[in-house]
Chains A and B, each alone.
Chain A
Amino acid sequence: MEKNQSKGNIKVLMARFSLDGHDRGLLSVMSSFRDAGIEVVYIYFSDSKELAKVAQEEDANIIGVTSSMGQHFFIASTLLDALDERGIIMPVIMGGVIPTRDVPSLLDLGIRKVFGPGSAPKDAIDFVMGLS
């Protein structure tokens, strides 16, 4: 747990649903994270339970999930349930193509922040840095 206490050692688990092939945004964000000294682990998953398990094993500070095909509610609800089941408290942020009108509902579900199209990587970096 020690590594999570200093700013330089923030670890983000970035995840893409394997049937959502859009990873261009994700690649850019990961590259910016790494440039900012944030540790990044990238996985694709086909089941949110799998993702929750990896999050626990990796002992990440935060999970970032991308959704560009309209599956954001499905992923948000199944992932948050899966984290609950494991008793993990870990903030989840989302990015990708997410209509602004869906953002309040995602936040209600328990997603901490949504970075839609046009968000600057800096916004995400500031948010992640602000966690610890």
Chain B
Amino acid sequence: MFSRKTLDKVNEMMKDWEREVKDVYEEKLKFESPQYSSESGIPVKYVYTPKDIQDKEPEMPGAFPYTRGNRALGYQYMPWMIQLLHGYGTGEETRERTKYLIREGMKGYGKTPAVLFAVDTPTHCGFDPDNPKARGMVGLGGVNISTLDDIDTLLKDYDLPKTRVADNIRFTCLPFLAMYLVYAEGKGHRPQELNGQSQNGLGNRCLTTNLPSPMPDAQYKLEIELIKYSCKNIKRWNHTNLCGYVFGEMNVTPAQELGIVMSKAIDLVEGGIKAGLRPDEFVSRFSSQVHLGMDFFEEIAKLRAWRRMWARIMKGRFGCKDPKSLQYRIHVHTAGSSLTSQQPLNNITRATLQVLACVLGGVQSMHTNSYDEAIGLPSEEAVRTAIRINQIVLYETGIPHVTDPLGGSYYLEYMTDKLEEEAEKVMSEIESKGGYFECIKNGWLRQLLEKQSIKWRQEVDGGERVVVGLNKFKIYEEEEVPAFTVYQPEVEEEAKEKLKKWKANRDNSKVRDSLEKVKDAMSDYDSVEKAGILMPELIKAARAKCTLGEMMDAIVEVSGGRLYST
């Protein structure tokens, strides 16, 4: 990238610089130079020069391998989506929160409203509100969904084909998708008209937030089933969210996050191929949720390396030709784990730096955490402030006017290459142990996550890692931040009442029959080659008014039950 002459000149200048550091700082001032390294353990020098990137080929946005951006134009043509995951209490409360967020600026691409809703843990696991196992948890952390009525409560104000519907459901993605399709059908819409996304990340969800999940073999089959079905029937549906966020929250390093997610993508693409799909049919419909922590430059480097690594794998390994398959669209969730409950307004500063890193890294979409999220669910004021961070960066700073503005920075380019190298090592290690899903089964991944989160805590307790307000710059009288409260017992009672009425108004013999057929289909679905046989039965079951929990129970009954802890 540089002429011989330039590099020679740099060599000369470097010698002067090194001499000054040695003579003045080290010898005269007795400065003991600290050794820095990035979160991923990459040593960081004090200064970078053209020599650090002398072998690099020039790159442009919109061209393979897309390090600098997927398209020729970035935010000049299309600002990032401001999408906030939200949901709590009753469907009505969640619907009101959605409206509030849209009014304040939450949006999908163009004019499409985005409804990105969180569900409670009983819904994640497939325990209906009348199941004793759901007791005490209905409506916490998200809205409860067990029937088509519950979906109607959330979505009745939206024109579905013009709405991006994205749930964050963990294990019950398939029953929920079946219910959503039947709900849309009732409104006169065919599956092909719909757009949105499923999480479809059963594996990583049981590794991180440790909830009762289907068995690992069943997890893989259910994920492939959703890919196959949506690829054939709902072309605009983003079937799988390749979620690195949950790993980041367990304190894996940026390089580990990237390596783990790529190894998962490889397993899923291979599964899709076994299920009879061509990679170009479904690779472009992977979506993402990347974790964005506090190591500013390394995080920007990660976003750039992410796109490049994806493009190289999908082209080189899977022979994808469609540019869309090679362009990784990034949605970021700013790091919840970086927030502190102490001096919570400091979290606005953290989120601002994270939003800035995202914009400099060229992401397509962002969830920005609210400052009070270490204390509980966010208040309206806090969530509005989170949206405003995005709007201030977008409209007041001029930062989005130039695509990949740090491209060519000696440091950032060097870091991007190094980060990719480190991530490749992690990916190879997982592959050498049988791949992502095998590493869930054999416990290797869970052990890594536990080790990382304990290490983080020890560093904080030992003071080697500074978290402002938590282990340094503490104040003695902590200000009280009002915590947002869900009146859980009332929400649970209401949900149980509604469910009771729902069950009284259906043909229970039809329910039983269709659940038997779900079980039969799941039993027959003994290898991913047969993917595609389960979803039609789930759709029929949803039409027969089966609940989310009933469908999930049918699935797990014939696939080894639920795994309670990894």
Residues of chain A touching chain B, judged by Cβ–Cβ distance below 8 Å, are 16-24, 27-28, 31-32, 44, 46-47, 69-71, 74-75, 78, 97, 99-102, 116-118, 120-122
Contacts and interface: CB of A to CB of B under 8 A. Distances in A.
A70 B141 contact: yes
A74 B488 contact: yes
Contacts of A46: 132-133
Given A18-B212, A71-B137, A117 B376 contact: no
A19 B250 contact: no
B146 interface: no
A118 B251 CA distance: 16
B279 interface: no
Nearest to A116: B341
B402 interface: no
Interface centre among A47, A78, A99, A101 (most CB of B within 10 A): A99
A56 B357 CA distance: 51
Contacts of A19: 121-122, 125, 127, 133-134, 136-137, 211-212
A21 B171 CA distance: 13
B454 A31 contact: yes
B341 A117 contact: yes
Given A28-B453, A31-B454, A20 B137 contact: yes
Contact of A118 (B211, B212, B470, B483): B470
Contacts of B136: 17, 19, 71, 74-75, 78
Nearest to A78: B136
Contact of B121 (A20, A47, A101): A20
Contacts of B208: 21
B375 interface: yes
A21 B342 contact: no
Interface of B: 121-122, 125, 127, 132-137, 140-141, 208-212, 249-251, 337, 340-342, 374-377, 450, 453-454, 456-458, 461, 470, 478, 480, 482-483, 485-486, 488-489, 564-565
A46 B564 CA distance: 10
Nearest to A117: B341
Contact of A27 (B212, B376, B454, B486): B454
B379 to A, nearest CB: 12
A127 to B, nearest CB: 16
Contacts of A116: 341
Contact of A100 (B211, B251, B478, B486): B478
- Residue of A32, A69, A101 ringed by the most chain B CB atoms within 10 A: A69
A71 B121 CA distance: 12
Nearest to B339: A117
B486 A70 contact: yes
23 contacts: A16-B210, A18-B212, A18-B565, A19-B133, A19-B136, A19-B212, A20-B121, A21-B121, A23-B210, A24-B250, A24-B453, A31-B457, A31-B458, A32-B457, A46-B132, A47-B132, A69-B121, A70-B376, A97-B374, A99-B375, A102-B483, A116-B341, A117-B341
Contacts of B342: 117-118
Contacts of B457: 28, 31-32, 121
Contacts of A27: 450, 453-454
A24 B461 CA distance: 15
A74 B477 CA distance: 29
User: What are the 10 tightest A-B residue pairs by CB atom distance, in nearest-first order?
Assistant: A21-B209, A99-B483, A28-B457, A74-B136, A117-B341, A21-B211, A19-B121, A19-B137, A69-B140, A24-B453
B250 A122 contact: no
A18 B211 contact: yes
B128 to A, nearest CB: 13
A28 B461 CA distance: 10
A32 to B, nearest CB: 8
Given A17-B137, A20-B137, A44-B210, 7 more contacts: A19-B122, A24-B249, A24-B251, A27-B450, A32-B461, A69-B137, A122-B461
Contacts of A69: 121, 137, 140-141
A32, A44, A71: which has the most chain B beta carbons within 10 Å?
Answer: A71
Nearest to B170: A21
B562 to A, nearest CB: 10
B141 to A, nearest CB: 5
B77 to A, nearest CB: 39
A22 to B, nearest CB: 6
A16 B564 CA distance: 11
A97 B132 CA distance: 24
Given A23-B210, A99-B375, A101-B483, A44 B453 contact: no
Contact of B480 (A28, A97, A100): A100
Nearest to B121: A19
Contacts of B486: 70
B454 A121 contact: no
Nearest to A30: B454
B417 to A, nearest CB: 31
A37 to B, nearest CB: 17
Given A28-B453, A71-B137, A74-B488, A97 B375 contact: yes
